[in-house]
Amino acid sequence: MKNNLGKSFLFLSVAALAAGGLTACGNKVVNDAKTLNIICLNLGYGREWIDELVTVWETENPEYKIHLEASSSANDLINKHLYSKDNIDDLYIGNSKNWKSYALKGKLLELDDFLNETVDGMTVKNKINDEYDKSIYYNGHTYRLPWTSGVPGIYYNAKMFEENGWAVPQTYDQLLTLCETIKTAALPVGPKATTTVKPFCFTGENMDYFDYATFTWWGQLAGKTNIDNYFKYESASTFSNSNPAFVALGQALQMWWNVFGQESNYVKGSDGWNNHTAQQSFYNGYAAMMINCDWLYNETLKYTDTGTLRDGFELKIMDTPAASTAVSTNISYIVGEDQFFAIPASTIKADLAKSFLKLMISDRGIKTFAEKAHGTLAYKTSTKVTTEDEYTNSLFDYLDNATDRFTNWSNSPLFLNNVIDVWTTNDLAPYTRIFNSTSSNPVQEYMNTVSSNAQSKWNDWLRQAGQ
């Protein structure tokens, strides 16, 4: 790293050092054994949830205090601190694929024994949602626990649906019909009512959000067993028409393109927008639906002056409309394999960090996250969680219906070493390529490219992964 954080500490004031859970003795930085230092990512889910849990923990542990660094730059801070020689952090909450390399390099504390400790009468291992049962282990050990079971899919303005008598589509064909119904209604929108409501808007700068519907359609078409086999990445034939999961992936991608390949189905300009511009357009009534994840609610609150959503907007998620040839309709992709709760190996307060971890994943912590972050943690509760907020309740209803859940995790060295993913490589992510394609059949062209790429580069990828 370019900057050594240990050197930078020498320039901090004694007051700043104390605020960070440190004391200064001459030029030596001394870690305060009574202060738990936490770094937490503060983006879509906000920080209110962890602020409340900090208060709870400090009340229950009056001899200790917490120094919380809740920052939008948390991932960068974590990376810098882990490679500094004077790291005083005790607990990390972030979302970065780097957690795998941190574990590999011995930067994270092994949590094998912690899995057997109990919370709410359950072992930690059994409390973790089933979709993470494989990925809590890395090279045979546990270094990271999941953060959320992010709920991906088609979010919609329930108030707009209600006012116009639009039924929430249960099937994919009904979704296509609804798109035509919305366009035919030609509802005026905007300050001068010069445009009409479109079925969707989306974020062109973050087109990976489209995975949040495409992957669930993929699961419906392929089934859980074929999905699990796909993620083994055993050979180049994974990415060929001899693999039913690969064929189903192309079919799911075509389902997405049948909607978004028609410009009339989305708000003009969406293909150039960042997520906030797209989300504001959705919130302001220019679109009836948006493919997104459960952080959408808290991010939408930021677009208001009152801290509450406008009267004409009620956010909910629908069960992903079922493909006509679905072999499973109770399946869903879940977002979150890049997220982590982790304890740095350098900590001198592992027991305190584990104590706060237990609070976060407890029934109380899960309910707090639901109420304050409007999201779902990756853990089971001993009783069903309900809130006074219909949006959050719709998330739990979605998860109740999706009894077969999967993430994009693989134990293959090719995945663990960040060589390949669902689409073989990051530079082959489909959505921008398909939007920019001049082919009359861009989805098939894309799938052919993925397949040929795998056949020609497989041995090179194995070498990159150390195989």
Domains (range + CATH), the chain: 5-150+336-406 (3.40.190.10), 153-333+417-464 (3.40.190.10)
Residue 140 pLDDT > 70: yes
Q: How far apart are CA 165 and CA 245, in angstroms?
A: 37
- CA–chain centroid gap for 113, Å, is 27
Q: Which two tokens stand for residue 251?
A: 């079919």
Mean pLDDT of 438-447: 97
State phi, psi for 315 to the nearest 5 degrees: -90, 135
Q: Are 227 and 327 in contact (CB under 8 A)?
A: no
Q: What percent of the chain has pLDDT over 70?
A: 94
Q: Which two tokens stand for residue 135?
A: 């990925």
Residue with tokens 């409390």: 127
Residue 30 confidence (pLDDT) = 62
Q: What is the mean pLDDT of the chain?
A: 93
Burial of 165 per CB tally in 10 Å (0-12, 13-18, 19+) = exposed
Residue 427 confidence (pLDDT) = 85
Residues forming beta bridges with residue 157, ordered by sequence position: 315
State phi, psi for 327 to the nearest 5 degrees: -95, -10
Mean pLDDT of 257-274: 97
Q: What pTM, to 2 d.p., does this model score?
A: 0.92
Q: Tell me the chain's radius of gyration from C-alpha atoms.
A: 23
Q: What percent of the chain has pLDDT over 90?
A: 89
Half-sphere exposure of 357 (CA within 13 A, CB side): 27
Mean pLDDT of 350-366: 98
State phi, psi for 407 to the nearest 5 degrees: -115, -175
Mean pLDDT of 424-446: 95
Half-sphere exposure of 3 (CA within 13 A, CB side): 8
Q: How far apart are CA 93 and CA 225, in angstroms?
A: 31
Mean pLDDT of 372-396: 92
Report the number of secondary-structure helices (H) and strands (E) in the chain: 19, 16
State phi, psi for 108 to the nearest 5 degrees: -115, 145
In terms of Cα–Cα distance, which of 261, 396, 240, 242 is closest to 317? 396
Residue 21 confidence (pLDDT) = 52
In degrees, rounded to 5, the angle at the alpha carbon of residue 324 between the alpha carbons of residues 321 and 326 is 80
Mean pLDDT of 261-282: 97
Q: How far apart are CA 296 and CA 318, in angstroms?
A: 14
